[in-house]
Amino acid sequence: MFHFVRRRMLSSVLPLVAVLLGVFVLARLTGDPASLYLPESATPAQRAAFTERNGFDDSIWQQIADYFGGVFQLDFGESLRTGESAATMALRAFPATLQLAGATMLIAAAGAVVIGSWAAFRPNSLADRIASFLSMTAASVPDFWFAITGVWIFAVGLGALPTSGVSDGMLSWVLPVATLAIRPLGVLTQVVRGAMVSALSAPYVRLARSKGAGSVRVVSHHALRNAAAPALTVAGDLTVSLVNGAVVVETIFGWPGIGKLMIDSITGRDFAVLQAAVLLTAVTIFVLNIVIDVCYALLDARVRETATV
């Protein structure tokens, strides 16, 4: 297992470099930030000074070298917008996103496992159909619509929750997490249901029943672990998109996360911050993918032996 993780990590180094390089190049394709940050009146000399100060006048190779040199020291430069260190800004915003993503996936996964298994246990029953319908609907609700409606119903209408912000402890989490979780919950429920339906008709389930195992035991001990792999793949993809920025939710609820930071730095052509944020999320995503692969291996001994990196 250790071997596997190490090899997997090594094989992620090059892609990470590619991501960093890609961000560098792509960001620069969006135009010169000078016009955004310099006053309209800026003289050519001022423009030149700005360009020089930010190193935009060096040859592209020099810039790339400086950039990667900085990356190794976790120095991404300073934000054009705020003047702060880009790395600081990214590191400050990231925990909020991770917490949000973590809570969301926890709830979505738990809900999906319970609802999905329950629906799969009696395929085509009324309960199954209702659960399936609801999960499909959940998967297609526009999130900002859900969020704003939620704010007006639960915060303003019922007064049960704060509208937004992070200052009300657990209550502050309810609406953002609900908004974020609704689609993953819907999608995962469908995946779990599908996987459970097949797992429940597998020969080992019949063997378990022949030992006198009851329904709960059959589902929880036998089918679930076998059904976990496809659910894990999808859950991974969903988590990735959460880590990559829950822009809408962070924007609406004033949640100071990396998604909002990224979008602000994109619209603000704030390359340094963008690069720091992308590196942070990319590393997290790579780690996440490795964790998922390890989970596969933990779930199923056969994977341990055949896994290629």
Segment 188 to 227, residues that bind another protein, using CB under 8 A = 190, 194, 197, 201, 203-204, 206-214, 217, 221-222, 225-226
Does position 141 interact with another protein (CB under 8 A)? The reply is: yes
27 is a site residue for another protein (CB under 8 A): yes
Site for another protein in 48-77 (CB under 8 A): 49-50
Compute how many residues bind another protein; rule: CB under 8 A. 131
Residue 187: name the closest of 235, 226, 124, 123 by CA: 235
CB of 170 to another protein, least distance (A): 12
Does residue 37 bind another protein (CB under 8 A)? yes
Please select the residue that binds another protein; options are 59, 61, 73, 83, rule is CB under 8 A. 83
85 lies in the site for another protein, by CB under 8 A: no
Q: Find the shortest distance in angstroms from Cβ 272 to another protein.
A: 14
Spatial distance between the Cα atoms of 18 and 29, rounded to a whole number of angstroms: 16
**Residue 60 contacts residue 252 (beta carbons within 8 Å):** no
Neighbour tally for 272: CB within 10 Å: 25
Is 145 near another protein (CB under 8 A)? yes
User: Taking CB under 8 A as the rule, which mask of x and - marks residues 148-167 in contact with another protein?
Assistant: xx-xx--xx--xxxxxxxxx
Question: Residue 205 Cβ, how far from another protein at the closest point, in Å?
Answer: 8
Long-range contact set of residues 218-224: C-beta below 8 Å, sequence gap at least 24: 219/117, 219/121, 220/117, 223/117, 223/120, 223/196, 223/199, 224/113, 224/117, 224/196, 224/199
The CB-of-301 to another protein minimum distance in angstroms stands at 4
Q: What is the DSSP track for 179-223?
A: HHHHHHHHHHHHHHHHHHHHHHTSHHHHHHHHTT--HHHIIIIII
Rounded to a whole number of angstroms, the minimum distance from the CB of residue 117 to another protein is 16
State in angstroms the smallest separation of the CB of 209 from another protein.
6
What one-character DSSP code corresponds to residue 282? H
Measure Cα distances from 64 to 2, 83, 197, 268 in Å. 34, 21, 51, 21
**Contact with another protein (CB under 8 A) among 10, 18, 60, 65:** 18
Nearer to another protein, 23 or 177 (CB): 23
